Amino acid sequence: SIHLSDYRAPAWRIVHADLEFDLDAGATEVTAHLRLQPDPEQPDAPLRLDGEDLQLLDLRIDGAPLPSDAYRVDAAGLHIEGLDGACTLTSRVRIRPIANMRLEGLYASRGALFTQCEAEGFRRITWFVDRPDVMPTWRITLRAERAQYPVLLANGNPVEAGDLGDGRHFATWHNPHPTPAYLFAVVAGDFGCVESRLARADGREVALAVWAAHEDVPRCRYALGAVERALRWDEERFGRVYDLDVFNVVAAQDFTMGAMENKGLNIFNARYVLADEDTATDADYMGIESVVGHEYFHNWSGNRVTLRDWFQLSLKEGLTVFRDQEFTSDLHSRAVKRIEDVRLLRARQFAEDAGSLAHPVRPPSYREINNFYTLTIYEKGAEIVRMLHTLLGEARFRVGMDLYFARNDGRAATVEDFLAAHAEASGRDLSQFARWYAQAGTPHVEVKDDFDADGGTYTLEIAQRTPPTPGQPDKAPLHLPLRFALYDAEGRRLKVDPRADDGSGDRIELTAARHRLRFHGLPSRPLPAFNQGFCAPVKLAYDYTPSQLGLLARCERDPFNRWDALQRLATGVLLEHFTDAAAAGAALLAALGDLIDDEGQDPAFAAECLLLPDFDTLAEAVPSIDVDALIGARNDLLDRIALEHVERLDRRYHALAAAAAGGLEPAAMSARRLRNVCLDLLTRLDPGAALAQAQFDAARSMTDRLGALRCLVHHDAPGRQAALDAFAGRYATDPLVTDKWIALVASRPHPDALLDVRDLFATQLWTPTNPNRVRAVLGSLSRMNPLAFHAPGGEGYALLAESLPELDGINPQVAARLLAGFESWRRLAGARRNRVEAVLQGLEGRLSSPDSLEMLARLRA
Ligand code: ARG
Ligand code: ZN
């Protein structure tokens, strides 16, 4: 494995790369002219170039053929010794895009050619010093048959294009910005586009285009609008201006990840580009805008300022997730966005941090970097940046960001560079804060209080500790901001610190393992509230009574905390934490009833409150996971809520009909969201599912159609099969919508879902080379269907494991990610733990990629 502490600057740098491609799906020839410069500090170091699956055709130094005894090729590299200084290396290689199933490097998809180079895919295209701190400027010439590949795109600005005779043509692109190879991209194929022009803040113009297969072009409009909004927002909020004449986005149906921020040529999984009312849900639209923003924002946080090495991955990903979260929050509801993000963090990142795959935001070592594109790097990384923003405040944070960008522009930076810029700009000592990057595990913050009625003195005792994680038994205290507020018995805010009254609560900074806070002159014991806006990514324990949580759900000024009070109440009811269970249930039902009726509240917020903590979140809140008990408790409580509030739910469902019939405006999206939550609760009580059937039949948007279909399928309605067939027939030619119904079938909370998945394997629908399809089937089963996945006999585990050896041979990243679905296995109660253990043992010797081998080893360690 590779260790952060072993970092050494490259012995040879590439200052300019001039590449020529003769593109063809069966055999592409790549000629690379690399201008090489040795590091004067490392004289006589041999030149080592990375390369995998390359057929070497020719090798020259400064134009002269290199004799075969002057270099050596092994499985991973090309070694040349005895070079005596700066020179130009020219190599010619042949590669086979059509045979590339890993979708790393140059690959074919539906008659077109795409690249994916992050993290180490460029070495599958040509010999190169494939590391992010090697940043040449680029000139890229593409030659191909015009009929099959009329569109030829690459990084940077277009410089020249023309005919070559013989049905062939060419295009040359120039990227003047120093850019590492992981951001290299070319696309060739028969695409159409939607386009627009935008004036940049510096007065220049940029031509924007979103490309897709011709039949999909009408569904690219929304993504183009999102690019325009992202470009403006980054100018206004971060002062970041775009730096090329063109910005291209291309949709690919075969794509391993969500999207990729290649310089000037973002390549996207089609699911984050294509949308229209008939095929995309409101959630899809929001996902598209957020991912478009994310990739666009990388142009500064990732591309202009890139990474010194892959250990720094969160330097670009955590920061860019923070930026895309702020983008969405500024454009839509900040409260709802925060709730969604925290939901994901608690359900998935906390589980990662508590499981076999726990790792710090900056891991100290890895075998396969692709295994570290995790929720910890992305989401916890974003939380760290958010804490910094909270500690410094928006104005000083912005000064620190400006300094970071200015100082590191065109450089390959580290987490230390980022913190140094903020420390300098704010005058604050961030050395303890840096521990967040090194220490894995979710911190527990426990608060105890005491009230002395005589003197009116209120004391808060706050303790933090982080539990051990694999390889890190001992943890040190972290520096974190903790907001809090005190309320009186009527829910009025008590002013305890006149300096902060922005509704966000007062704030202290924890640095030690224990802190004590004292407040004097209080008339009675106050009700405390903590961690407004979830300003620190911790588990906070305070012994609330049900009625206190009911009061907080009404009076807390911070909307996130109002939602969180209900989540705490629901969690306590589900896990039987309250001594007075009856009172707790009653408080929860009363609060939810008020919300269903409350027309003054954003319906999307009410919808979030009505959704109970999901299985993963509950599983993460208990020491040992009793699958049946958790699923059973959740179902019982949902039934109880539905039964108690059936009239209210029905009334609100119908009252929202008019608003829900609108388009993409926030009020309509919000209305559809709450309506679909009401529909799900109502369908629990109605075996005939008449309401869901009616909504399905009348639906005019995918949100309503899919919402209704989900109710029919997940609640076993009589019309379930007919509706599934109708839906499948209507969208048979659309892979993205087909993925949606496959995901519904695979996530149906019924033991038979395993049989349905097996049936799918036997149909044309099972295309193991398409990552979206594999995820729709197996990701949905393992991540969204605890009931079937954790079938008591281990059949779910076996089903997932069975498919892994084949998938690993096709696309290791996809296989390794599915394997991570077992991350919490050590905490499973009863026989399930043994069943997973047996399944993991059975995989030994049947997987071959470094990706899956590393995952398996960490799971079993
Ligand atoms: N940098 C991409 C993003 O925007 C993700 C690329 C992931 N690639 C990989 N091989 N793991 O987040
Ligand atoms: Zn990213």
Per-chain residues with Cβ under 5 A from ion ligand 2: 317, 320
CA distances from 181 to 14, 276, 850 (A): 10, 35, 21
Q: Output the pLDDT for position 503.
A: 53
ipTM over 0.95 threshold? yes
Q: Which residues of the chain have pLDDT under 70?
A: 497-505
Buried b (16+ CB within 10 A) or exposed e, 307-340: bbbbbbbbbbbbbbbbbbbbbbeebbbbbbbbbb
Smallest CA-to-CA distance from 754 within 798, 796, 804, 803 is with 796
Which atom of ligand 1 has the smallest separation from the CA of 260?
Answer: 2
Under a CB-based contact definition with an 8 Å cutoff, are residues 541 and 461 in contact? no
Question: Strand, coil or helix: what is 176?
Answer: coil
Neighbours of 343 (CB within 10 A): 18
Instruction: Indicate whether residue 261 lines ligand 1 (CB < 6 A).
Output: yes
316 alpha carbon – ligand 2 mean position (Å) = 7
| Ligand 1 midpoint to CA 113 (Å) | 19
CA of 391 to the centre of ligand 1 (A): 29
Residues near 536 by beta carbon (within 8 Å), at least 6 away in sequence: 383, 387, 443, 445, 480, 481, 482
Give the ligand at the shortest distance from the Cα of 268. 1
Q: Which ligand is nearest to the CA of 316?
A: 2
If one residue of 321, 373, 378, 379 were mutated to test the ligand 1 pocket, choosing by the most ligand atoms within 8 A of its CB, it would be: 373
Question: Which atom number of ligand 1 is nearest to the Cα of residue 302?
Answer: 1
| Phi, psi dihedral angles at 259 (to 5 degrees) | -170, 170
Q: How far is the CA of 256 from the centre of ligand 1 (A)?
A: 9
Both tokens assigned to 394: 């928006």
Question: Does residue 295 line the site of ligand 1, with CB under 6 A?
Answer: yes
Query: Can you tell me the distance from the alpha carbon of 614 to that of 593, in angstroms, rounded to the nearest whole number?
Result: 20
Closest ligand to the CA of 317: 2
Q: How many residues does the chain have?
A: 861
Report whether residue 118 contacts ligand 1, using a CB cutoff of 6 Å.
Answer: yes
Closest C-alpha residue for ligand 1 atom 8: 118
Atom of ligand 1 nearest to the CA of 373: 11
The C-alpha atoms of residue 827 and residue 622 are separated, in whole angstroms, by 9
**Catalytic residue numbers, as ranges:** 295
Q: How many angstroms is it from 151 CA to the middle of ligand 1?
A: 24
Q: Which residues contact 266 (CB under 8 A, 6 or more apart)?
A: 247, 248, 249, 250, 259, 260, 295, 296
Cβ 419 under 6 angstroms from ligand 1: no
Å from CA of 602 to ligand 1 middle: 34
- Residue with the smallest CA separation from ligand 1 atom 3 is 260
pLDDT value, residue 502 = 53
379 lines ligand 1 (CB under 6 A): no
Distance 294 CA to ligand 2 centre (A): 6
Q: Choose one of 257, 267, 855 to mutate for the ligand 1 pocket test, by most ligand atoms within 8 angstroms of C-beta.
A: 257
State the ligand closest to the CA atom of 104. Answer: 1
512 burial via Cβ count (<10 Å: 0-12, 13-18, 19+): exposed
Provide the 10 A C-beta neighbour count for residue 635.
14
- Return the residue whose CA atom lies nearest to atom 4 of ligand 1: 260
Identify the pLDDT of residue 348.
98
Ligand 1, atom 11, lies closest to the CA of: 370
* Residue 243 beta carbon below 6 angstroms from any ligand 1 atom: no
Distance of alpha carbon 159 from alpha carbon 161, whole angstroms: 7
